[in-house]
């Protein structure tokens, strides 16, 4: 058997609506909306350049129901390019594209095999030395352990399991616990490689020689999907062993999201804080910029700082200063998505005696509120605030610690107001 190369991608979310962009005047909307399509073009181009044996797509090719048929046609055209190079594609549907009825009726090129949702199946390509096993989602909310029903491994072939799953069902990442299963269960199935999808952050597990890989999504879509995004290249030798470690390849050449946390420990004024932001923007974003890519940056001021009161009490000025910095020529790729202040007072700081009791009371109430997420959720439901927020914001409420962070921010803001009022 010749050396096999597999290109594994997941969570393409072609034409994702990116609803949150409407909140930002001046956002490069069209550039960001087209980024997922460009990432898919890059994926296909990489497959052609590497002359891969096959492409594996582990679910969520689309982002729900298409606004029109052009989304499906674009995907079909890209798959046709792989067909012309005689590269097969093995794909499953995940929670997002399962609900799209047009996905089922779409006529794909004959090099694409989409696994059925009724039960797990196997596609054998002895000419390639491959056996690929997979099952699509029948509907969005799949809470059954699909992996339990996957077929047995085929002997003398490289066995790949194609699965859209939350793995152990962890909700802290903000992802729903769809098709949960354990790492041990996957390893014991006898496959050589598990090509997973659903978790948008790259994660590689290697147990007993079995590689279990989330490649992450191919293109970040909002401020929580930061840093390099792309796919995974897997090389298999003639002895059916993965050569080295599966390699990440960047695909996000149109847009990349960054969270830039800037420690304000050495800043005592807003000017000094802005100078720290400028330095971090240069070192960590601008120096890694590439032509044609938008670097969407969320700047967060952190740490215990003498500048805390000024930054928190004059946030609009700080935000304006940071945006002005980003408009300098050397930051031409940078778009400031948001500026946040998460600083704290130096430990030696004490509130003025006249407001000390009020500050202590605020802190006690904030601690009680932050420790009781049910109270905060009840308030959100009662005011119907949650229903009015876009999905990318409501997902925050599924993450650990959000109520505590919100309460802490409120306490700090009220403390600054009390102090400024005293002055």
Paired tokens of 172: 């802290």
Q: Determine contact, residues 307/268, Cβ cutoff 8 Å.
A: yes
Q: Which of 25-29, 301-305, 407-411 has the lowest mean pLDDT?
A: 407-411
Please give the model's pTM, rounded to 2 decimal places. Answer: 0.81
Compute the average pLDDT of residues 312-324: 94
Yes or no: say if 325 and 281 are a contact pair by the CB < 8 Å rule.
yes
Round the average pLDDT of the chain to a whole number and report it: 84
Rounded CA gap, 168 and 183, in Å? 7
| pLDDT of 399 | 55
Q: How far apart are CA 213 and CA 202, in angstroms?
A: 8
How many whole angstroms separate alpha carbon 242 and alpha carbon 240?
7
Is residue 232 classed exposed, middle or buried when 0-12, 13-18 and 19+ CB atoms within 10 A define those classes? buried
Q: What are the φ/ψ torsions at residue 164 (nearest 5 degrees)?
A: -100, 115
How far is it, in rounded angstroms, from Cα 318 to Cα 295? 20
Distance between CA 408 and CA 258 in Å, rounded?
24
Angle between helices 70-84 and 35-50 (to 10 degrees): 10
Contacting residues for 260 by C-beta, under 8 A, at least 6 apart: 277, 280, 281, 284, 285, 297, 298, 299, 300
Q: How far apart are the two ends of the chain, measured CA to CA in Å?
A: 79
422 or 307, which is more confident:
307
Residues with Cβ within 8 Å of 189's Cβ and at least 6 positions away in sequence, in order, are 147, 150, 152, 153, 161
Q: How open is the CA angle 185-191-192, to the nearest 5 degrees?
A: 120
pLDDT of residue 349: 54
pLDDT tens digits for 153-193?
999 999 999 999 988 855 445 567 788 899 999 999 999 99
Domains of the chain: 4-250 (3.60.21.10), 254-348 (no CATH), 350-423 (no CATH)
Q: Give the β-pairing of 203-207 and 193-197.
A: unpaired
107-142 residue pLDDT tens: 899 999 999 989 999 999 999 999 999 999 887 788
- pLDDT above 60 for 395: no
What pLDDT sits at residue 171? 47
């Amino acid at each position: 058997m010749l050396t096999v190369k597999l290109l594994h991608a997941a969570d393409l979310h072609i034409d994702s609506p990116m609803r949150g962009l409407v909140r930002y005047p001046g956002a490069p909307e069209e550039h960001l909306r087209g980024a997922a399509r460009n990432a898919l073009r890059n994926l296909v181009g990489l497959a052609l350049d590497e002359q891969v044996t096959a492409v594996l797509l582990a679910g969520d090719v689309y982002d729900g129901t298409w606004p029109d048929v052009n989304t499906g046609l674009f995907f079909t055209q890209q798959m046709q390019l792989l067909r012309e190079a005689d590269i097969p594609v093995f794909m499953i549907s995940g929670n997002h594209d399962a609900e799209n009825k047009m996905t089922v009726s779409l006529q794909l090129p004959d090099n694409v095999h989409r696994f059925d949702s009724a039960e797990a199946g196997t596609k054998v390509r002895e000419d390639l030395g491959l056996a690929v096993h997979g099952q699509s989602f029948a509907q969005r909310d799949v809470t059954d352990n699909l992996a339990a029903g996957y077929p047995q491994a085929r002997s003398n072939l490289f066995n790949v399991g194609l699965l859209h799953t939350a793995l152990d069902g962890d909700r802290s990442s903000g992802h729903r616990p769809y098709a949960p299963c354990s790492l041990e269960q996957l390893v014991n199935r006898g496959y050589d490689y598990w090509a997973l999808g659903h978790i948008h952050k790259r994660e590689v597990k290697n147990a007993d020689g079995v590689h279990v890989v989330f490649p992450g999504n191919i293109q970040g879509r909002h401020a929580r999907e930061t840093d390099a995004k792309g796919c995974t290249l897997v090389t298999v030798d003639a002895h059916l062993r993965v050569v080295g470690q599966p390699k990440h390849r960047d695909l996000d050449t149109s847009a990349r999201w960054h969270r830039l946390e800037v420690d304000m420990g050495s800043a005592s004024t807003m000017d000094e804080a802005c100078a720290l932001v400028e330095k971090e923007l240069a070192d960590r974003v601008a120096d890694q910029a590439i032509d044609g890519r938008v670097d969407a940056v969320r700047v967060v001021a952190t740490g215990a700082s003498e500048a805390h009161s000024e930054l928190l009490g004059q946030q609009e000025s700080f935000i304006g200063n940071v945006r002005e910095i980003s408009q300098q020529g050397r930051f031409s790729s940078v778009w400031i998505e948001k500026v946040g202040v998460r600083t704290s007072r130096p430990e030696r700081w004490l509130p003025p005696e006249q407001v000390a009791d009020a500050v202590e009371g605020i802190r006690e109430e904030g601690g009680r509120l932050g420790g009781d997420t049910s109270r905060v959720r009840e308030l959100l439901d009662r005011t119907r605030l949650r229903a009015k927020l876009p999905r990318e914001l409501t997902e925050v409420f599924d993450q650990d610690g959000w109520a505590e962070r919100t309460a802490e921010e409120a306490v700090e803001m009220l403390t600054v107001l009390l102090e400024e009022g005293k002055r």
